[in-house]
Amino acid sequence: MMGFNGSLVDAHITNAQSIEKDFESPTISNVQNGIEGAYGITHLAKRLQQIPVGLGYDWQDVVYTNALMMCSQNAASIQKEALRQNLSVEQLVKNSMGFFENVTLPLCKPEVIIAYSNGLTSLSAASLLLTHFGEAGTLKYSHPKGYYTTYAFYAKFHSQRVPVVCVRHMSRFKPHEEYIKSAISLMR
């Protein structure tokens, strides 16, 4: 499951520190903590747990990550936060996509990626994956517009080909499970 960017809840810790912390405490789950209200609202965490289960996966076996490896107050403040770190947004995107392809992906070997932020004309998890790894001509919609906009495409990471299903950001929208399943079937 891939979101767009980390929130300020994560800003106190680097990616390396987060991985070390998770390794040292494998029974602690940020998704479960979110469901229990540790970060305020609970509906995003509940959806992060429900979607994999609805697709037949154990949510505890799912890798949850973000497209951009930088925390910001919201998506609109990414450029300002990148500049504070002496990075352009383009450098941030390049570094983040490289990290995903060369570190995250080989560790988790996904069967499918669910990207939850699906704008194609703006920075989003979906647009970054499509731009950097998407196979031309594979984009197909299971629901083309509106609240439930859902689509899929194949992404190529080195020699691994993975279907990517894209839904609107689950902090604000509840995806329709049948449209996700339909999008996956469009990739078979």
Q: Tell me what pLDDT residue 166 has.
A: 96
Query: Mean pLDDT throughout 19-42?
Result: 80
> How would DSSP label each residue in 17-68?
HHHHHHHH-TT--HHHHHHTTTTS--HHHHHHHHHHHHTT--GGG---EEEE
What is the overall mean pLDDT for the chain? 87
Query: Would you say 164 and 115 are in contact if contact means Cβ atoms under 8 Å apart?
Result: yes
Q: Using only C-alpha atoms, what is the Rg of the chain?
A: 16
HSE (side-chain half, CA atoms, 13 Å) at 5? 22
9 band by pLDDT with thresholds 50, 70 and 90: low
Q: Which helix (H) or strand (E) holds 143?
A: strand 140-143
**Residue 169 tokens, joined:** 């950001």
pTM of the model: 0.88
pLDDT tens string 128-142: 999 999 999 999 999
- Strands ordered across the beta sheet of 113-116: 65-71, 2-6, 113-116, 160-167, 150-157, 140-143
How large is the average pLDDT for residues 77-85? 83
183: helix, coil or strand? helix
Q: Is 91 helix (H, G, I), strand (E, B) or coil?
A: helix
Which has the higher per-residue pLDDT, 23 or 56?
A: 56
CB atoms within 10 A of CB 174: 15
Confidence category of residue 37, pLDDT binned at 50, 70, 90: confident
pLDDT of residue 19: 67
Mean of the pLDDT values across residues 59-65?
89
Provide, rounded to the nearest whole percent, the portion of the chain with pLDDT above 70.
90
Q: What is the pLDDT of residue 116?
A: 93
